[in-house]
Amino acid sequence: MSSAWGIIRALNSGVKHLAVKRFTLRYPEEKLKFVGDGFQFDPQTGVGIAGLKGRHILFHDKCTGCQLCAIACEGIAEAIAMVKVNETWKHNKKTIMPQIDYGKCVFCGLCVDACPFYALYMTNDYELSSFSKEALIYTPSQLAVNPKVNQDVEIKIDERGATHG
């Protein structure tokens, strides 16, 4: 008798969920909203600023070509290579800037922690898929572009359950 009651309770619990709102995020149409504009780091305080660890953004006017980001990546993913750029900056004598291979990057953000010149941050862009391995290698000029993101859906919780937007 108790087992019959248990099955009724289990079924009842499932049936109640017919009235609950759908929790699924319909991904390509809807995108989850993140905190801030991506993971950043303040070298003065030595503490990061919360945000998604997505694709990097490189500020050419601040990068000095010091290679600290590439050194930080050694032994982790080895995704950062320093390449020559055809730009003339007073603070960048060697005219080298990081180039990031997203086929290798693990998005740990330690390169951002290593940059003492506020030149390398991360953004909310996480859609980096491509048809070839070569297209995953982002050159300094590609990294300078601020990505367009359309993320506005948040988890909403009410009496009838939790839902996305």
Q: 67, 89, 108, 139: which one contacts other proteins (CB under 8 A)?
A: 108
Nearest to 56 by CA among 120, 139, 149: 120
First to last CA, the chain: 43
Tell me 32's DSSP state: B
Q: Residue 120, Cβ neighbours under 10 Å: how many?
A: 26
Q: 21, 26, 35, 93: which one contacts other proteins (CB under 8 A)?
A: 35
122: which 2 tokens? 């991360």
Site string for other proteins, 44-83 (x = CB under 8 A): -xxxxxxxxx------------------x-xxxx------
Shortest Å, Cβ 108 to other proteins: 4
User: Closest CB to other proteins among 34 and 102?
Assistant: 34
Question: For residues 109 and 33, what is the distance between their CA atoms, to the nearest angstrom?
Answer: 20
User: Closest CB to other proteins among 72 and 85?
Assistant: 72
Shortest Å, Cβ 111 to other proteins: 11
109: which 2 tokens? 């953000």
Beta-bridged to residue 41, according to DSSP, are 48
* Interaction site with other proteins (CB under 8 A): 2-3, 6-7, 9-10, 12-14, 23-24, 32, 34-36, 38-39, 41, 45-53, 72, 74-77, 106-110, 113, 122, 155, 157, 162
